[in-house]
Amino acid sequence: MKSWMLVVFFPLHLIFGQIVEYSLPEEKAPNTYIGNVAQDANISQLAQPEDLLSMEYRFLSQSNPYAELFSIHEKEATLYTAKQIDRETVCKFEVSCILRVDVIARSTGNFYQKIQLNLNILDINDNNPTFSRGSIDVELSEGSSVGTSVQIEGAIDADTGSYSVQNYVISPSDGPFEVHFQKNVDGSSIVKLVLRQSLNREDREYYLIQVLAQDGGNPPRSGALNVNVYVTDINDNSPVFLTSNLNVTIDEDAAINSTITIIRATDADKGNNSLVVFSISERQDARIQALFGIERFTGRLLLKESLIYEPGESYKIIIEASDSAKQPRISQTQVTVNVNDTHNNPPQITVDPLSNSADAEISENAKPGAPVAHITVFDPDTGYNGRVNCSVDDIAFTVQKLRQTSNYKVEYKVVVVQPLDREVLSVYRVTVRCEDEGHPKLNASATFNVRLSDENDNKPIFNQQVYKVQKTENNEIGDEIVQVSASDKDFGVNSKIQYSLRSSDQNFQINPETGLIKAYFRMDREKLDEFRLMVYAVDQGTDPKTGSAEVIVQVADLNDNAPDFVNDNLDFNVPENFGRNVTVGVLLVHDSDSGENNRVSFSIDPRLKPGLPFEVFSNGSIIAMNSLDRENRSTYIFEVVAKDHGVPPQTTRANVTVQVLDMNDNAPVFIFPTAHNNTVTVSYQTQPNQVIAQLKTTDADEGLNSKVTYLTPNKNLSQLFQLNTLSGRLILTRTLATVDIGSYTMLVYAQDKGTPPKISEAFLTITVTNLPLDGAQISPVEEEHKFYLIAIAITCVTGVIAVVIILTICLIKRADRMKLKYQQSHNECEVNQGFEPRKKVSFSVDDPDSARVVTHVTSNQLYSALSDQVAGGGSSRLNYQPRYHNEVYDRQRRHNPNAQNAPHFVNQDGDTNSNHSADTATSDSGRGGSDDMNNSSMFPSSLDFDHENRSTRSNRDFRSHLPLHDRDKPQTQIGRPRDFFNLDLSYNSSAYPNLDNSYSHGLVPYNNTGNDDSTTTSGSYVLDPEEEIKEVIQPSNRCIV
User: Which pLDDT does position 978 carry in this prediction?
Assistant: 36
In this model, does residue 876 exceed pLDDT 70? Answer: no
pLDDT at 482: 93
Give the pLDDT confidence score for residue 641 in this predicted structure.
92
Radius of gyration of the chain (CA): 68
- Measured CA to CA in angstroms, residue 664 lies from 572, 633, 727, 749, 940 at distances of 20, 15, 21, 17, 58
- Rounded to the nearest 10 degrees, what angle do helices 780-833 and 877-895 cross at? 40
Segment holding 966, helix H or strand E: helix 964-967
Question: Which pLDDT belongs to residue 784?
Answer: 59
- Residue 908's pLDDT is what? 38
> DSSP state, 130?
B
Candidates 226, 265, 274; CA nearest to 246 is 265
Strand-pair partners of 213: 168, 223
Phi, psi of 216 (to 5 degrees): -95, 15
Sign of CA dihedral 833, 836, 841, 844: positive
Are 689 and 720 in contact by the 8 Å Cβ rule? The answer is no
Q: Is residue 462 over pLDDT 90?
A: yes
State residue 439's pLDDT score.
80
Helical H runs in 874-945? Answer: 877-895
For residue 782, name the pLDDT band (cuts at 50, 70, 90).
low
Contact 613, 635 (CB under 8 A): no
Secondary structure (DSSP) of 149-203: EEEEPPPB-SS-GGGSEEEEEEESTTSSEEEEEEE-TTS-EEEEEEE-S---TTT
pLDDT tens for 168-179 read 999 898 889 999
CA geometry: angle at 409 spanning 406 and 413, to 5°? 120
> Comparing 34-48, 561-575, 722-736, 820-834, which segment has the lowest mean pLDDT?
820-834
**pLDDT of 118 above 70:** yes
**pLDDT at position 676:** 92
Question: Quick one: pLDDT at residue 380?
Answer: 65
Alpha helices in 714-843 (DSSP H): 780-833
Confirm if 164 and 170 have CB atoms less than 8 A apart. Answer: no
Q: Which residues contact 561 (CB under 8 A, 6 or more apart)?
A: 526, 591, 592, 593, 597, 650
pLDDT value of residue 504: 80
Three-state SS at 634: coil
Mean pLDDT in residue range 328-356: 83
Residue 294 has pLDDT above 90, yes or no: yes
pLDDT for 405 equals 66
pLDDT at 302 over 90: yes
Mean pLDDT of 417-442: 88
- The predicted structure's pLDDT at residue 786: 64
**3-state class percentages of the chain: helix first, strand second, coil last, to nearest 5:** 15, 35, 50
Residue range 763-790: average pLDDT?
Answer: 72
User: Which of 144-148, 292-296, 862-866, 1009-1013: highest mean pLDDT?
Assistant: 292-296
pLDDT bucket at 717, cuts 50 / 70 / 90: confident
Q: Taking the complete model, does pTM exceed 0.85, yes or no?
A: no
Q: Are strands 56-59 and 98-106 parallel, antiparallel or unpaired?
A: antiparallel
Between 1010 and 137, name the one with better pLDDT: 137
Using a pLDDT cut of 90, give the percent of the chain over it.
Answer: 30
Least confident interval from 145-159, 505-519, 782-796, 911-925: 911-925
Instruction: Report whether pLDDT(759) > 80.
Output: yes
pLDDT at site 557: 85
Residue 613: cis peptide before it, omega within 30 degrees of 0 = no
pLDDT at residue number 336: 92
Q: How much is the pLDDT for 887? A: 39
CA pair distance 586, 620, nearest whole angstrom: 5
| Helical (H) or strand (E) element with 8 | helix 2-9
Band of pLDDT at residue 955, cut at 50, 70 and 90: very low
Confidence check: pLDDT of 671 > 70: yes
Tell whether the torsion through CA atoms of 356, 357, 362 and 368 is positive or negative.
positive
Q: What are phi and psi of 386, to 5 degrees?
A: -105, -5
Distance in angstroms (rounded) separating the CA atoms of residues 402 and 423: 32
Query: What per-residue confidence (pLDDT) applies to 970?
Result: 40
Contacts of 501 (CB under 8 A, 6+ apart): 508, 509, 510, 517, 533, 534, 535, 536
Q: Distance of alpha carbon 179 from its chain centroid, rounded?
A: 53
Lowest mean pLDDT among 71-75, 423-427, 525-529, 902-906: 902-906
**pLDDT of amino acid 747:** 93
**pLDDT for residue 310:** 59
Question: Is the model's pLDDT at 972 over the cut of 50?
Answer: no
What integer pLDDT is reported at residue 785 of this predicted model?
64
Q: Is the pLDDT of residue 783 over 80?
A: no
Strand order in the sheet with 614-616: 582-586, 621-624, 614-616
Q: At 498, is the secondary structure helix, strand, or coil?
A: strand
What is the Cα–Cα distance from 166 to 163, expressed in whole angstroms? Answer: 8
pLDDT tier, 1002 (very low <50, low <70, confident <90, very high otherwise): very low
pLDDT in tens, 823-872: 777 665 544 444 444 444 333 333 433 333 333 334 344 334 333 433 34
Q: Provide the pLDDT for residue 827.
A: 63
Backbone angles phi, psi at 15, to 5 degrees: -115, 125
What HEC string does 39-95 produce?
HHCCHHHHCCHHHHHCCEEEECCCCCHHHHHEEECCCCCEEEECCCCCHHHHCCCCC
Return the HEC string of 551-601: EEEEEECCCCCCCEECCCCCEEEEECCCCCCEEEEECCEECCCCHHHCCEE
Write down the pLDDT at residue 1036.
Answer: 37
Number of alpha carbons in the 13 Å side-chain half-sphere of residue 515: 23
For the segment 383-390, the average pLDDT, to the nearest whole number, is: 81
Closest to 498 measured CA to CA, from 543, 561, 456, 545: 545
* 499: nearest Cα among 541, 543, 534, 464: 534
Cα(632)–Cα(626) distance, integer angstroms: 13
Q: Is the dihedral of CA 267, 273, 276, 280 positive or negative?
A: negative
Return mean pLDDT, the chain: 76
Q: What percent of the chain lies above the pLDDT cut of 70?
A: 75
Q: Which amino acid is at 366?
A: A
Distances (CA, A) of 191 to 46, 136, 162, 164, 183: 57, 13, 18, 15, 9
Average confidence (pLDDT) over 635-663: 90
pLDDT given for residue 551 in this prediction? 94
Identify whether the C-beta of residue 84 lies closer than 8 Å to the C-beta of residue 28.
Answer: yes
User: Measuring CA to CA, which residue among 399, 480, 481 is closest to residue 445?
Assistant: 399
Least confident range of 59-73, 276-290, 777-791 = 777-791
Q: How confident is the model at residue 184 (pLDDT cuts 50, 70, 90)?
A: confident
Distance separating alpha carbons of residues 477 and 521, to the nearest angstrom: 5
Distance between CA 361 and CA 355 in Å, rounded?
A: 7
| Alpha carbons 971 and 864: distance in angstroms, whole number | 10
